[in-house]
Structure 1
Amino acid sequence: MHELVATPFGDRRLILRPGSTKAVRISHARFGELRTMASTASSVPQWLIEPVRTQWQLDLTGRHINDVILLREAGPYEFSRATWEINLGCDLDCVMCYLGKKRFEGLDMNGKRKLLAVMRDAGVIWLQITGGEPLIDPDFPESYQLAHELGMQVEVLSNGSRLHKDHVLDLLRSYPPTKLTLSLYGATADTYEAVTRRRGAFGRFRAGLHGAVAAGLNLDLSLIIVRRNAHEAEAMRDWARQLGVPFREYANISPTIHGSAEPLPQQSPEYLTHRQPFTGCPAGVAFFHADPFGRASICKVGREPNIDLIAEGVEGLARLGGIAESLMLRTGGCSGCKLSSTCRVCRPMAKILQEAEAPLRNYCRHGER
C-alpha cells in the first residue's frame, strides 16, 4: 500500500499523505521526473526526501518510488472533489433529518467499484463518503479501502454509532481518513436520544467518540442545534473543548431532499444564523455529488438533472457544467427580484425552501423587511 500520492490539482502538482491534511507542492517538471523515475523502478529522489521528512517525519531514504508513491494522472475535466452518498439508510431517526424516507438501497459492490473507478478517472482527489449513515453499509469497508487504494484522500461523515466496534476502528486506523466528521446531537443521554429517537444511541456515540480520539484519528465535530437540544449547546461545546476536537455549529435546518417541510419546525429560532450573500460555488465545475445509484449531480441539493455515471462513465461529466449554469441562474421563482444580487442561498436551495413553503426570512432578503 502506498504511503504518499503524487497528483495533479488544477495547475498545481502535490504530494499528499493518506490521512493527513498537509501537502508538499512540487513543480510540473519534478512531477514529470517522478513519472519517468517510477517507470524505471528508481529510488525516491533526494530532492523529495527532505520535504517529506519535514512535513510528515517519514524517511524515504533508499526506498523505491513504486513502493511508497502512487502517481495519479489528471482527469479530462476540472473535478478534484466529490461527495458520495453510499446509501440513504440510517440507524438513527433524527427529528430534523433532511433525507425524508431513509431507504437503504443503491449499487451492489460491483457497481460501487465501477463508480469509484469513474471518480478516479475523473480526477477526484478528495472524496467525502456520507449517507444516510455510511458505517452501517455492509460494503463500506471494501469501498473505503478501495478509495484509499485509488489514491483518494477520504473524509467520512458519520453519526458515530458504529465507531465503538473494534473492526470499524481497526479499519480507520489502518487506512486513516483525512477527516472523520461526527454529528453531535446532545450532551446527555436524555437529550441525545430525544433528538435521534433511538434508545442507547448516546452510549454508543460516546464510546465511539472516545475510541476515535484514543486512536488518534483526525476528528471534527458538527454540533447540530435544534429545539430539543438548544439548552445543551454550551455543554456540547465544552465536551468538544475538553476532548481537544475542533467543532462547527449548524442550526439552519433544510427541508427534505424531496422538498417537504417536516424538518423545519425543529429549528431553534435563537440559533438561526444569517448566511453571507451567495457569490457562487464550485458545484458542477470542480466538484460533484453522487447518490447511492451512482447518479452525479452538481450537489446534494441540486439533484436533478443528473448523470448516470455507471452507464455513461467519465464522459458524462462533460455535461455537468452546463447543468450547473442552468440551475444557478437567479430565475424560476425569483425573476425580476431587485435583491437577487445579495441573495443568501443558491438557486437550488431557494427552490426546495420555496417548495417546502419555508418562512421567507429563512432564505430571502425580502423576509428581512
Structure 2
Amino acid sequence: MYQAIVSPQEDKFIAVRAGQQAAMQLPSAFYAELADLTDSDGVVPDWFGDAARQAWGIELADLPIRDVLMVRAPSVLPVTYSRASWEINKGCNFSCEHCYLEQRPFAGLPLPEKLRLLDMLRDMGVIWFEITGGEPLIDQDFVPAYQRAYAAGMMMEILTNGSRLYRDELLQTFVVNPPHKITVSMYGASPETADALTQTRGAFKSAYRGMVAAAGVGLPVEVTLIITKHNVEELGEMRAIVRDLGLPFKEYGSISPTYTGKGTTLATQVPGLIGKSEVFQGCPAGHTSFHVDPNGFATMCKVGRDNPISLIAESPQGLMRLPAIADAQMLRTGGCSGCKLSATCRVCRPMARVYQEAKAPLNHYCQHGMKEEP
C-alpha cells in the first residue's frame, strides 16, 4: 500500500497523500529523479523524506520507493485531464424529495467495461477522482471499481448517504486502500425527520450507524448537512450529532431543480437560504475536468450534459471535442443575454438554464428576482 502519490497534473508535478490537505509541487527534475528511482528499485531520497515529514508527519526516507510511493507516468494521449467525477450508478436506496436526479434507474456498465473506463481515466492523467451516484455504495461492482482506481494512483472522494458504510467489506476496503475523503450527506437529527425527507424507513438509523463505524476506524469523513424546510428546525441538533462524532461538517441549503429541468424539488427549499451562494467566478469544467455517467458518456459536468461523448465507443480521443462543447454551454443565452448584473451572478450558465427550464421563480437563482436585504 503506497503512502503518497507523485504525479503530473496539467503542466505541474505534485505529491499528495490521501486524507491530507497539504501537498507539494515538485520541480520537473525532482519528479524525474523519483521516476528514475522507481524504475531502478531505489529508495526514497532524503529531500523527499524531509518534505514528507514536514507536510504529513510520516517517515519515508531510505525506504524502498516502490513500497511507499506511487509515481505516475505522464500521459501519452493527445487529451489529458486531471479531475473527473463518475456516477457509477444512478440507483439509490433513498428517495429524497430534493434529489436533483429525476429518475434513478439501477443500471450501468458491466464490470469489465467499468474497469476499462477507469483505465482510460488513468491514462488521461486523472488524479482527483470522485465517485458518486445515486448511491455508489449499493453498486455491486463498487469494491472492484474502487480498488482499480486506487491502484491507478487516484485521490478518491466518495459521495454517499452513509447507509452502507458500516458494512465490513466496505470498511476493510477503505482501511486498506484509504480514500482522500468520504462525504456523507445528513438529512435530519431524528428518524422521524430523516426518514420522511428520504422517504425511506430506517434511513436515519443506517446512516448514523455508517458514520459511527467510519469514524471508529479513522476514515476521513466529512458530513454535509442538507438543509431543507423539513429539517431546518433540527439544524442545531444535526450539528451536535456530528460534533459528538468528532467529524468536520459543512452546510448546504441551495436546492436546485432536477438536472432535466423539473422544479418539484424546489418545494423543499428553505426561503431564507435562497440566493446565499457565492458569486460565480468561472469554471474549468470541460477543460481540466469532466463528468461520466453510468453508461460511460462524458459531459462537461454533472449539470451541463449537452452532447455527451461515449468513452466506451470513442475512447479518450473523443474528449478532444469537449472543450468546445463546454464553452458553448457557458454562453449567456435566452433571458441571460446582455444581462448587466452578470459580474455578480451567483449561478453558472448550465445551472441557470436548468432553473429556466423548470420555470423556477427568479428569486431562486437570479438577482433580478431577489429583494433588497434590509
Aligning the two structures, in what range does the TM-score lie when normalised by the shorter sequence?
Answer: over 0.9
Deviation digits for residues 198-225 of structure 1 (CA, Å, limit 9, x no counterpart): 1111111111111111111111111111
Deviation digits for residues 291-321 of structure 1 (CA, Å, limit 9, x no counterpart): 1111111110001112111122221222111
Instruction: Tell me: CA distance 1:98–1:265, structure 2 relative to 1, closer, same or farther (3 Å).
Output: same
Residue 334 (str. 1) matches residue 323 (str. 2): no
Distance 1:34 1:175 in 2: 22
- In the TM superposition, what is the alpha-carbon distance from 1:65 to its structure 2 partner? 2.0
Q: Secondary structure at the match of 2:6?
A: strand
Residue 89 (str. 1) matches residue 91 (str. 2): yes
Paired residue for 1:64?
Answer: 64
Distance 1:202 1:66 in 2: 43
Give 1:95-244 correspondences, 5 Å limit.
95-244=97-246
Distance 1:28 1:305 in 2: 37
Q: Secondary structure at the match of 2:84?
A: strand
Deviation digits for residues 147-179 of structure 1 (CA, Å, limit 9, x no counterpart): 100000000000000012121111111112101
Uncovered stretches (5+) of structure 1, i.e. residues with no partner: none
- In the TM superposition, what is the alpha-carbon distance from 1:78 to its structure 2 partner? 5.2
Q: Secondary structure at the match of 1:145?
A: helix
Residue 41 (str. 1) matches residue 31 (str. 2): no
Q: Which amino acid aligns with 1:169?
A: L
Residue 354 (str. 1) matches residue 356 (str. 2): yes
Deviation digits for residues 109-134 of structure 1 (CA, Å, limit 9, x no counterpart): 11111111111111111101000000
Paired residue for 2:320?
Answer: 318
Equivalent pair of 1:77/1:123 in contact (CA under 8 Å): no
Instruction: Tell me: CA distance 1:164–1:113, structure 2 relative to 1, closer, same or farther (3 Å).
Output: same
Instruction: Tell me: CA distance 1:228–1:36, structure 2 relative to 1, closer, same or farther (3 Å).
Output: same
Q: Secondary structure at the match of 1:263?
A: helix
Instruction: Tell me: CA distance 1:269–1:223, structure 2 relative to 1, closer, same or farther (3 Å).
Output: same
Higher mean displacement: 104-113 or 149-158: 104-113
Q: Which amino acid aligns with 1:114?
A: R
Compute the RMSD of aligned alpha carbons: 1.6
Higher mean displacement: 178-187 or 14-23: 14-23
- In the TM superposition, what is the alpha-carbon distance from 1:143 to its structure 2 partner? 0.6
Instruction: Tell me: CA distance 1:244–1:220, structure 2 relative to 1, closer, same or farther (3 Å).
Output: same
Q: Secondary structure at the match of 1:60?
A: coil
Instruction: Tell me: CA distance 1:346–1:72, structure 2 relative to 1, closer, same or farther (3 Å).
Output: same
Paired residue for 1:304?
Answer: 306
Equivalent pair of 2:274/2:363 in contact (CA under 8 Å): no
Distance 1:340 1:51 in 2: 43
Distance 1:294 1:251 in 2: 30
- In the TM superposition, what is the alpha-carbon distance from 1:44 to its structure 2 partner? 1.9
What TM-score comes out, normalization by structure 2 length? 0.94
- In the TM superposition, what is the alpha-carbon distance from 1:188 to its structure 2 partner? 0.7
Distance 1:302 1:62 in 2: 47
Q: Which amino acid aligns with 1:51?
A: A
Among all aligned residue pairs of Structure 1 and Structure 2, give the percentage whose two residues are the same amino acid. 46
Runs of 4+ off more than 6 Å: none
Distance 1:312 1:19 in 2: 34
Equivalent pair of 1:19/1:175 in contact (CA under 8 Å): no
Uncovered stretches (5+) of structure 2, i.e. residues with no partner: none
Distance 2:359 2:90 in 1: 24
